[in-house]
Amino acid sequence: MPFGLRGNGQAAADADAIVARLLEALPPDHGAIRAGAGVWRAADTKRLLGRDDRVFTALLRVVQTSHGGGLLRFFLPATKPSLTEWNGRHGWHESWPSKPNSIAIASDWLGNLILLDPSRAPSGKRRVALLDLATGAYDLFGDLAEFLDSLPDNSERLLFKRRFDEYLAAGGRRPNITECVEYAIAPLVGDGKENLRTMRILGLEDAVAIAGQRRDKYGAIPPGLRPPG
């Protein structure tokens, strides 16, 4: 399935294949909003990231606001929060000033942010980072192509899919594209079982701001005390 990339045939084909595999594993949800082919161009990628990235351009041309039943959400130019505005002066980073000034491109159902970090992978592309709202952990991965290529086989570890399924099975409401599910009381220790009664729906922007005020001030929770994945 071609996504409109031209030039450097092999690079374009590789970008298309990576995005196609992601869409097959995490298909767009009914009613989700799509930016649309032609709306996002390579020039927009250069403006946002500072350089060209074929995989990012291919991704933005076809992804929608919500994928995998709400498991994964992408920020687009016209969404709330907006891909461009939320990475601006008064965006997500304002609440997390101690973290690198990365580009937030997506979030999971818990509001954890998927970002493009300023540091470079061996490929020369920006590395992907995950910001965990509940713990304040900021973990780095490979470049975007590597991350997207691994996501279909690692949705449990990276997107907490099992926990999402348990939350829905217990009667939890599926958050809409402007919301996430957060811990009313963040779990620090336990027997590995989630207490779904401590979880609530909150606006994503509010959740990121509140978590930033809490975790950026007091620091990340040590790995041994983080909620089970």
**pLDDT tens-digit series, residues 33-80:** 776 556 889 999 999 999 989 999 999 999 999 999 999 999 998 888
Q: Report which of residues 221 and 173 the model is more confident about.
A: 173
| DSSP letter string, 164-196 | HHHHHHTTPPPP-TTEEEEESS---S-SS---G
pLDDT at 5: 31
pLDDT of 188 strictly over 60: no
- Determine the length of the chain: 229
Top-confidence residue, 133 or 15:
133
Joined together, the tokens standing for residue 72 give 């994964």
For residue 190, the model assigns a pLDDT of: 47
- Provide the strand spans (E) within the chain: 66-67, 72-74, 103-108, 113-120, 126-131, 138-143, 179-183, 199-203
Average pLDDT over residues 124-143: 93
Q: Model confidence at 220, in pLDDT bands (50, 70, 90)?
A: low
Predicted local distance difference test score (pLDDT) of residue 78: 86
Q: Residue 45: which residues within 8 A CB-CB, separation 6 or more?
A: 52, 53, 56, 57, 60
Nearest CA-CA partner of 163 in 198, 117, 128 = 198
| pLDDT tens digits, 194-219 | 556 678 899 999 999 999 988 766 55
pTM for the whole thing? 0.85
Q: What is the mean pLDDT of residues 148-174?
A: 92
In the chain, domain spans:
69-225
User: Taking a C-beta distance cutoff of 8 angstroms, is the pair 60, 45 a contact?
Assistant: yes
- pLDDT on residue 30: 84
Is pLDDT at 161 greater than 80 in this prediction? yes
- Per-residue pLDDT, averaged over 79-103, amounts to 93
Helices within 50-111 (DSSP H only): 54-62
pLDDT, average across residues 22-33: 89
Question: What pLDDT is recorded for position 216?
Answer: 64
Which of 119, 113, 115, 112 has the alpha carbon at shortest distance from 103?
Answer: 115
CA–CA gap between residue 125 and residue 121 (Å, rounded): 6
Greater confidence (11 vs 44) lies with 44
Give me the chain's average pLDDT, please: 84
Question: Residue 229 has what pLDDT?
Answer: 45
CB 153 within 8 A of CB 159: no
> For residues 190, 215, 160 and 195, what is the CA-based torsion angle, rounded to 10 degrees?
40
Q: What average pLDDT does the segment 157-164 reach?
A: 93
